[in-house]
Amino acid sequence: MNSVVVVGGGLAGVRAVEALRGKGYQGELTLVAEERHRPYDRPPLSKAVLAGERDDTTVDADWNALDVRLLLGERATALRPDPGPGSGGTVATTAGDLRFDGLVIATGAAPVTLPGDGAQRVVRTIDDARVLRERLAPGVRLVIVGAGWIGAEVATTAAAKGCAVTVVEAAGAPLANAVGPEIGRLTVPWYAEAGVELRTGVKVAAVEPGGLALADGDRIPADEVVVGVGVRPALDWLEGSGLLVERGVVTDASFRVTDGDGALRPDIVAVGDCAAWWSRRYGRRLLVEHWDTALNAPDVAAATLLGEEAEYDAVPYFWSEQFGRMVQYAGHHPAADRMVRRGDPADKGWGVCWLAGDRLEAVLTVRRPRDLVQARRLIAAGARVDPEAVADPDVPLRDAVRTTAGS
Ligand code: FAD
């Protein structure tokens, strides 16, 4: 392999570059990145950057040693794979055509926006965060659409800056899509405590100048509107490439894509927020839009490109900092058949474990980082636990493990 192109200059892109060099790849390496900034971390954007505590989140990488041709501010516009697995292809970009023997697709995701001709802000890039930060002044009426992770984090920061914050959510509870309404409802008091008005079950028809038009004909006036209703993989440039895309780029557990002839391509991998990868652990495809996957999965993608046998089999993990609380989640709960509460949500720290039978499938913790660490290990090991011990917050989770089935 003599020429590798990485498309996308987010965390997954830079980690792919580092992994390729780290594994001894010495050929040409080009990174095509639409943003003009060197790769940076996004999690602080809705937290420390918005709060004005940090301005720079650039990923610490030794670009000289990496010996990469960095095409910042350039976009990939099309992909033309040559027919036949392993035969490479061409990426068309705003800087011209690039031939490749190996390609990493790491174009991440872009925020979904709402209809309407009113100004709506999103928080995806550092530029978005810096602009919004300037608008968050005391008394500003900020309306946030979406009580998901980003909406809650932006509400936290804006309320602390003295804005009059309203969060509008179509579902019946915050975080309902991510963790289910029952758990999401437990976060409702956090909004009131912070002086944020939360309106659930409210459907927005459009963003108009001066505020929101609701589906029921009502209006919510706003000086600023932030939309946090989710993201979509940024894959428009793959149109016509023949690659199998179902929301994300479909890959196997080694991040190999499938081309228009239905063949797995060992020379084209997709990773990070744009990839829907096969999880052997869960027996289904996962599209995980979180930092930990963008950090760790590129190592496997790089190994695959270099012809090594590698599979990604991690337990998904993410965190959120909202309303003064560290919220962490590990696992994947759709297969669970019960939830066990761990501690009282009125207390400082609490959690929830999802079980399938007595196997620990997933955990959510609020200010209980030790539980998270222990549960993550147990989930990875497929451990079986005693639900009664899990329900007792004084019993360390690692001591809730059953050594023999049913014991
Ligand atoms: P991205 O970071 O989206 O990077 C992809 C890059 O590719 C972008 O720079 C994009 O401009 C570029 N690109 C797109 N199309 C093209 C093209 N055609 N040509 C060239 N370049 C292109 N996760 C957590 O686990 N915890 C958190 O607390 C958390 N907080 C977050 C807060 C915010 C505000 C945001 C936005 C995300 C947060 N995340 C968090 C999610 C995490 O940041 C993402 O999962 C991670 O950034 C994904 O990395 P990526 O490299 O796959 O994609």
pLDDT score at 407: 46
pLDDT digits (tens, 9 = 90+) for 114-134: 999 999 999 999 999 999 999
pLDDT digits (tens, 9 = 90+) for 46-79: 999 999 999 999 999 999 999 999 999 999 999 9
**For residue 253, what pLDDT band results from cuts at 50, 70 and 90?**
very high
> Helix (H, G, I), strand (E, B), or coil: what is residue 94?
coil
Tokens found for residue 401: 């493990």
pLDDT score at 403: 82
Element (H, E) at 69: strand 69-72
Tokens found for residue 380: 């990875």
Q: Determine the average pLDDT of the residues in 345-358.
A: 96
Q: How many Å apart are CA 315 and CA 377, to the nearest integer?
A: 9
Q: Determine the average pLDDT of the residues in 216-236.
A: 98
Tell the residue nearest (CA) to atom 41 of ligand 1. Answer: 290
pLDDT score at 300: 98
Q: Is the CB of 291 under 6 A from ligand 1?
A: yes
Instruction: Assess whether pLDDT exceeds 80 at residue 229.
Output: yes
- The dihedral through the CA atoms of 260, 262, 263, 264 has a sign that is positive
Q: Is the CB of 16 under 6 A from ligand 1?
A: no
Instruction: Assess whether pLDDT exceeds 90 at residue 164.
Output: yes
Instruction: Assess whether pLDDT exceeds 60 at residue 405.
Output: no
Q: CB neighbours (10 Å) of residue 242? A: 17
- Residue 143, CA distances (Å) to 29, 244, 329, 362, 389 in order: 44, 38, 27, 32, 42
Q: Is the CB of 322 under 6 A from ligand 1?
A: no
Q: Is the CB of 91 under 6 A from ligand 1?
A: no
Pairing mode of beta strands 317-322, 325-331: antiparallel
- Do residues 355 and 384 lie in contact, with contact meaning Cβ atoms separated by under 8 Å? no
Instruction: Assess whether pLDDT exceeds 90 at residue 254.
Output: yes
pLDDT digits (tens, 9 = 90+) for 174-193: 999 999 999 999 999 999 99
Q: Would you list the DSSP string of 326-389?
A: EEEEEE--TT--EEEEES-TTSSSEEEEEEETTEEEEEEEES-HHHHHHHHHHHHHT-BB-HHH
pLDDT score at 255: 98
**For residue 268, what pLDDT band results from cuts at 50, 70 and 90?**
very high
Q: What is the mean pLDDT of the chain?
A: 97
Q: Where are the alpha helices (DSSP H) in 56-136?
A: 63-66, 126-135
**For residue 404, what pLDDT band results from cuts at 50, 70 and 90?**
low
Q: How far apart are the first and last CA of the chain?
A: 53
Q: CB neighbours (10 Å) of residue 406? A: 8
- Do residues 45 and 123 lie in contact, with contact meaning Cβ atoms separated by under 8 Å? yes
Q: Is the CB of 32 under 6 A from ligand 1?
A: yes
Tell the residue nearest (CA) to atom 53 of ligand 1. Answer: 108
- The dihedral through the CA atoms of 70, 75, 77, 78 has a sign that is positive
Pocket perturbation via mutation, ligand 1, pick of 291, 296, 319, 323 by most ligand atoms within 8 A of CB: 291
Q: How many Å apart are CA 45 and CA 57, to the nearest integer?
A: 8
Instruction: Assess whether pLDDT exceeds 60 at residue 406.
Output: no
Pocket perturbation via mutation, ligand 1, pick of 107, 149, 319 by most ligand atoms within 8 A of CB: 107
- Do residues 235 and 249 lie in contact, with contact meaning Cβ atoms separated by under 8 Å? yes
Q: Determine the average pLDDT of the residues in 270-277.
A: 98
Instruction: Assess whether pLDDT exceeds 50 at residue 305.
Output: yes
Output phi, psi for 246, to 5 deg. Answer: -130, 90
Least trusted range by pLDDT, from 111-120, 285-294, 395-404: 395-404
Closest atom of ligand 1 to CA, residue 320: 28
Q: Is the CB of 318 under 6 A from ligand 1?
A: yes
Q: Is the CB of 220 under 6 A from ligand 1?
A: no
* DSSP state letter for 125: S
Instruction: Assess whether pLDDT exceeds 70 at residue 92.
Output: yes
